[in-house]
Chains A and B, each alone.
Chain A
Amino acid sequence: DIQMTQSPSSLSASVGDRVTITCRASQDISNALAWYQQRPGKAPKVLLSGASILESGVPSRFSGSGSGTDYTLTISSLQPEDFAIYYCQHYFSDPFFGQGTKLEIK
């Protein structure tokens, strides 16, 4: 199985800040990576797939990059509704999620 390791596990930031979350795969996943946002009490929502392809309706302040084993999610200017938990997930083989990054208001 290909494991996913996210960092940091939690992050405090302010509205307007730029934040980056990192995800590392245990082997090359060839950009087969999705990012999800989960707000409290809600189901997750896919933000990006293919490491960098923004899903329909997702604000452009979200972006993704990376290749091989290392990937990042960047939020360019945090908005109040962005404080949530973010998960990466590979789909190179049987899908596997990272452990999540909790983004909290500073």
Chain B
Amino acid sequence: EVQLVESGGGLVQPGGSLRLSCAASGFIFNSYAMGWVRQAPGKGLDWVSTISGSGAGPYYPDSLKGRLTISRDNSRNTLYLQMNSLRAEDTAVYYCVKLRSRPETGELLHSIFDSWGQGTLVAVSS
């Protein structure tokens, strides 16, 4: 069974930094692209970032480029999201997601989010 467990969320002041982690199990981690999707309180879903099984890419929406860095440690089956220069509008639940991939290479096949963690809340406030 696929399990994705996020950690690292919390309260941070505007301008601060935070690193989220996602511990993965139940599948061959380096065979799958992984990513992050966020959801502001009471709002919809926004794609945040994607990284291939090998670490190639990564990919971000233009609105978030420069402030976020996605990375992975395949030896630890762990995905990370480093967030800098945080703003109030970054307040959200951040979900770790597994994406539809080519298992022989770990490359992204389609940005279909087929497994989700339970999410970790990031609150940016003074």
Contacts and interface: CB of A to CB of B under 8 A. Distances in A.
Interface of A: 1, 32, 34, 36, 43-46, 49, 55, 87, 89, 91, 94-100
A34 B112 CA distance: 7
Interface stretch (B24-32, B42-50, B69-77): B42-50
* Contact-residue bracket for chain B: 10 to 19
Given A32-B110, A95-B111, A43 B47 contact: no
Interface in B97-126: 100, 110-114, 116-119
Interface of B: 37, 44-47, 59, 61-62, 95, 100, 110-114, 116-119
Contacts, number: 48
Given A32-B110, A95-B111, A87 B116 contact: no
Contact of A46 (B46, B112, B117): B112
B34 to A, nearest CB: 14
